[in-house]
Amino acid sequence: MKKFKIKFDREVCIGCQACTSVCDNWIRDGDKVKPKKLEISENELKSNKEAEDICPVNAIKIEK
């Protein structure tokens, strides 16, 4: 199955928690967040894409 890589820029993240509200791969980490997994399968793509789209500072990028 195809895998997708997530790139997360913690420096850019402002800790708004929007990603954690749309995708359970994203969890609170101190005053910011972290992904549980940096490599996701196709069936995890939709919710992680939502996290990518909702992030106001583009800290989340999914590589295809």
Asked if residue 17 binds ligand SF4 (CB under 6 A), the reply is yes
Q: Which residue bears the tokens 């500072």?
A: 57
Asked if residue 23 binds ligand SF4 (CB under 6 A), the reply is no
Question: Judged by CB under 6 A, which of 27, 37, 46, 57 binds ligand SF4?
Answer: 57
Nearest approach, Cβ of 63 to ligand SF4 (angstroms)?
16
Asked if residue 38 binds ligand SF4 (CB under 6 A), the reply is no
Asked if residue 59 binds ligand SF4 (CB under 6 A), the reply is yes
CA angle 41, 45, 47 (to 5 degrees): 130
Number of residues that bind ligand SF4 (CB under 6 A): 14
